[in-house]
Amino acid sequence: MFRLLSLALVLWLTVPAVAGAQTLQDILQTHQDEVLKPGRRSVSVVLDDLVASGLPQALPFLEAWRDREIVQRGSDGLFFRAVEDGDVITLTDLDTGDSFAATDPADLTESRPNGGVRRAIGDALVQFQLSDPDISKRQAAVNAIARSMDASQLAPLQASIEAEPDPALKETKTRLAGMLGALFADTQDARIDAITGLSGDLSVDVRAVLNRILSSSSQVAAEVPAEANVAQILIVGTDITTEEAYARLVANDLAPPLTTNTDIREALVANITGGMVGDVPVATLDTDAARLLAYDALAAAGTLPPRVKEQNRADAINAHTFFIQYDESDAAITDAAATALRAIETKVALSQAADLGLDALSLASIYFLAAIGLAITFGVMGVINMAHGEFIMMGAYTGFVVQQFVPDYTLSIIIALPLAFAITFGAGVLMERTVIRHLYHRPLETLLATFGISIALQQLAKNIFGTQARPLTSPEWLDGALVFNDVIAISYIRIAIFVLALLFLCLILFVLKRTRLGLEVRAVTQNPGMAASMGINPDRINMLTFGLGSGIAGIAGVAIGLYAKVTSEMGADYIVQSFMTVVVGGVGNVWGTLAGASLIGFLQKGIEWLNPSNTLAAQTYMILFIILFIQFRPKGIVALKGRAAAD
């Protein structure tokens, strides 16, 4: 019937609509009996004619028919679509679509297609939808086929490809037809052709199709059956464990289940008579050996079935062959599918490696952003600022507050970035003037004082903004991801963070190496006394440098807030990592921070890839690696040399 249908469809598509004078009602009148009492065979006549007519109103009619809404009026034999609403039955003319209330409900006879007929109607509907003039309907039909692939869809789909006007949809259809062909084509050659055609495609659904062809089941038999398409013969001990092998024998009723310790205990409990099991007192049964003896004694007496021992198990396993058998019986097809899948998987693995690289790059840029401010305050000035994380948090909350007043997300981010810089710059300068200035010669105490500021700021944020995470919404143009293929994708927000990190790197390098301020900063950090005698005011320079580092932390906060949630503890999450980034990279050098962030980012992603289920373990191993790394390169990757390196 399907072939007939598709033939009809092809005819309809190639021969321009012959209809015009014909109405839907005319066709239905021709086949009155078949419409009213459709059988699985008789219905095809109606469907063929409907398809051949090419009438647009055939589609709603088929839907209504499938939904059992078609009635025949006894007085003139005309068909209508009937919708029942309480007592009122509304009839709809099938050609014109005019609705009116039925005058005599008793005069109507329902057409009640059974399940098989409704399925046939559904298939015909797919053809209509696949060639519908409305592209969204065609798209929906294609999606429906992709969701539940079925042999019957192949022919109508292939037939609709030729006349498809939309190139993108045509490609989708061709691809889908390829997948359907791989699964359901009639001849072996056609299937193998279709399978070979799929081999360049990385998408998940193609892999699913190939895996479906290659679906297999574990079998066990005394001898491998000659007709079986065997994927692999399993060797007990290497491919499957002895326990698994025996469990499979038991599941297939090829061997009796092993007598477990639990079985023995239950059997013994069931046979206790007067404090004795057989002739063994119950109190002595507190070891496995004693229980075995008691059980064997009972078995010898015939009370219990004999125990299945290790030797029986080994014999049973040796007497059978364990193998994996393809559900598909044709070896040529499974071979082709396996080859195609292997080719795809190689490509997928390469793409995954590239994707992992991108992931690592974006993680490295986040670490870099979080640490770059620290690279200035800690790396260049040597001040341990434990409140650096809280400056990141302040920046993120600045972004959040701005978004409360400026509803436009793009604009709010544009406002938030400089505002966050200004606020944290101010906070940094304030902190430098009031606290850090007095502690330049006591670095360990700076650590404590700034830690105090850190917990005070954290609690303050908690008091003001509450403990729940606040959202920082990114503008719409940062939603979504840049997709290279089905495996490699990177979200725009990560690209933005990467770009921001790059921008900061250039900015800071420029400020430090090319400006008067940078020159003075470097002079003061190398030798404050000498710098002062050259007319540089070290106080002013220290203040500005610290402000700059803090301000950058604020901007990083906005960026990190877009990527993660804003909480009062977000700073604390980054602070230890940031210090390690700076220390690993090498103190006093912006390039070092970049190297440190890259090393940590790539390392963490690499370890996560080895053990994807456990990010905690990845972090643990990464920290251990860093601890060891510092043992061997205490000054970091990029170590300063000469006078600048002096403590």
Partner 1 sequence: MTASFFARHPSVLWFLLCLSLFTILVTLLSEATGVGLISTSFVKTLGKTLCLCLVAIAMDVVWGYCGILSLGHFAFFGIGGYAIGMWLMYARTELIVVESLSKQVIPPTPAEISDAIGNQIFGVVGSAEFPWIWGFADSLFLQLLMVVLVPGLLAMVFGWLAFRSRVTGVYLSILTQAMTLALALYLFQNDSGLRGNNGLSGLQNIPGYQDVSQATVSIIFFIASAVALGAGYVFFAWIVSGKMGSVVKGIRDNEARVRFLGYHVESYKLFIFTVTAVVAGIAGALYYPQAGIINPGEIAPIASIYLAVWVAIGGRGRLYGAVIGAAFVSLLSSWFTGGGAPDINLGFYVIQWTDWWLVLLGLSFVAVTLFFPKGIGGLFDYLVRKPS
Give the burial class of 1: count Cβ atoms within 10 A of its Cβ; 0-12 exposed, 13-18 middle, 19 or more buried.
middle
Shortest spacing between CB 538 and partner 1, in angstroms: 20
Q: Determine how many CB atoms are found less than 10 A away from the CB of residue 208.
A: 12
Sheet with 280-281: list strands edge to edge: 272-273, 276-277, 280-281
Pairing assessment for the beta strands 79-85 and 280-281 based on DSSP bridges? unpaired
Shortest spacing between CB 453 and partner 1, in angstroms: 6
**Residue 320, token pair as written in the block:** 């059978």
Residue closer to partner 1, measured from CB, 226 or 616: 616
Pairing assessment for the beta strands 88-93 and 481-483 based on DSSP bridges? unpaired
Comparing CA positions, the residue from 549, 577, 543 lying closest to residue 436 is: 543
Residue closer to partner 1, measured from CB, 534 or 624: 624
Shortest spacing between CB 352 and partner 1, in angstroms: 25
* Contact residues: partner 1, CB under 8 A: 261, 265, 268-269, 272, 282-283, 285-288, 291, 384, 386, 435, 438-439, 442-445, 447-449, 451-460, 462-463, 572, 576, 579-580, 583, 614, 616-617, 619-620, 623-624, 626-628, 630-632, 634, 647
Rounded to the nearest 5 degrees, what angle is found at the Cα of 32, between the Cα atoms of 31 and 38? 80
Comparing CA positions, the residue from 462, 463, 460, 497 lying closest to residue 478 is: 497
Shortest spacing between CB 293 and partner 1, in angstroms: 13
Shortest spacing between CB 637 and partner 1, in angstroms: 14
Residue closer to partner 1, measured from CB, 486 or 573: 573
Contacting residues for 153 by C-beta, under 8 A, at least 6 apart: 123, 126, 145, 180
Residue closer to partner 1, measured from CB, 336 or 622: 622
Distance CA 643, CA 49 (A): 95
Shortest spacing between CB 162 and partner 1, in angstroms: 56
Shortest spacing between CB 174 and partner 1, in angstroms: 47
* Alpha-carbon distances, residue 422 vs 391, 406, 416, 540, 548 (angstroms): 11, 18, 10, 17, 10
Distance CA 508, CA 380 (A): 12
Shortest spacing between CB 43 and partner 1, in angstroms: 56
Residue closer to partner 1, measured from CB, 80 or 397: 397
Residue closer to partner 1, measured from CB, 8 or 383: 383
**Residue 291, token pair as written in the block:** 């229980």
Residue closer to partner 1, measured from CB, 2 or 609: 609
Distance CA 588, CA 524 (A): 13
Q: Determine how many CB atoms are found less than 10 A away from the CB of residue 227.
A: 6
| Lookup result for tokens 């933005």 | 496
Secondary structure in 3-state letters for 49-68: HHHHHCCCCHHHHHHHHHCC
Q: Determine how many CB atoms are found less than 10 A away from the CB of residue 332.
A: 14
**Residue 83, token pair as written in the block:** 């919708």
Residue closer to partner 1, measured from CB, 101 or 456: 456
Q: Give the chain's length.
A: 647
Helix, strand, or coil here: 134?
Answer: coil
Residue closer to partner 1, measured from CB, 14 or 463: 463
Residue closer to partner 1, measured from CB, 106 or 628: 628
* Alpha-carbon distances, residue 406 vs 44, 416, 469, 556 (angstroms): 63, 10, 20, 20
Across the strands, what pairs with 482? 490
Shortest spacing between CB 646 and partner 1, in angstroms: 12
| Lookup result for tokens 């079935």 | 305
Shortest spacing between CB 317 and partner 1, in angstroms: 25
**Is 209 within 8 Å of 182 (Cβ atoms)?**
yes
Pairing assessment for the beta strands 88-93 and 79-85 based on DSSP bridges? antiparallel
Distance CA 294, CA 304 (A): 11
Residue closer to partner 1, measured from CB, 15 or 627: 627
Shortest spacing between CB 447 and partner 1, in angstroms: 7
Shortest spacing between CB 448 and partner 1, in angstroms: 5
Shortest spacing between CB 271 and partner 1, in angstroms: 11
Residue closer to partner 1, measured from CB, 53 or 458: 458
Residue closer to partner 1, measured from CB, 47 or 626: 626
